[in-house]
Chains A and B, each alone.
Chain A
Amino acid sequence: MAQDWHVLKAIGMHTLNSGAAILSFVSLSCLTRWLITDCKLRYYLDKIEGIVLIVLVVIFAYNVIVDLLPESLRNAFPFKLVLA
């Protein structure tokens, strides 16, 4: 049961940190957009920001699903079904 709490804590840490990273990128993008007046550069910036945010969300999902959920499954099934 304690290990489940550790996994939950790790998932919470990932959620918090990915949220913080996304917020950082959004605020940086807003700041840059505020400084840039050229329409074409702003268009490029929008596209880059979109891809970066999607990649961050995918990385978060990958970390949680591939890395952390198998650990919770290992804790749930003591006969190492997941490892096998």
Chain B
Amino acid sequence: MLFRLNLSLREFRKLYVLYISAGIAAIPAGFIYALLAAKGYERPWTAISTIVLGFLMARQTWKYIERKFFDEFPSMAGISDNGYIVVAAQANGTIVRFNRRVVRGEYIAKSNMAAAQSYPDNNSQSVNESMAEHHAVARN
């Protein structure tokens, strides 16, 4: 229970930081729009183009920070209440792509190997061995 709470709080903090960083990344676009508006170009197309620019910058920042967050495996390591190892804790770089959320990772850990292999990113040999290790540890 405590593990789940810690994990949830950590996820909550990371998601909040992601949203804040996305907002900060959109500030330059807002500044460009403010400059355009001050010069008399306050029109729908300038607003839409700066929103698109801000969205693209925010999305790239989101991706970058998300990758940074979910690459630090030691901080994610742990065993859940019911004895399963959280996949994100033991994953290599290949698994990260579909395990960006621990919610999804737990689902895969609780399901069988066939379900795990059904994910397109999950068909490599190392991933299969890793999943087999997870299940072996969980059984013990």
Contacts and interface: CB of A to CB of B under 8 A. Distances in A.
B132 interface: no
A43 B30 CA distance: 12
Interface stretch (B53-61, B72-80, B84-92, B123-131): B53-61
Contact of B55 (A9, A24, A58, A71): A58
A59 B74 CA distance: 29
Interface residues of A, number: 34
A76 interface: no
B16 A6 contact: no
A17 B30 CA distance: 21
B26 A55 contact: yes
Interface residues of B, number: 33
Q: Chain B interface secondary structure, helix, strand, loop or mixed?
A: helix
Interface in A1-56: 2-3, 6-7, 9-10, 13-14, 16-18, 20-21, 24-25, 40, 43-44, 47-52, 54-56
B29 A51 contact: yes
| A43, A59, A71 pick with most chain B CB within 10 angstroms | A59
Given A18-B19, A20-B19, A55 B54 contact: yes
B30 A47 contact: yes
Nearest to B24: A52
A20 B47 CA distance: 25
A14 B30 contact: no
Contacts of A48: 27, 30-31, 33-34
B62 interface: yes
Interface of B: 11-12, 15-16, 18-20, 22-23, 26-27, 29-31, 33-34, 37-38, 47, 50-51, 54-55, 58-59, 62, 101, 103-104, 106-107, 118, 120
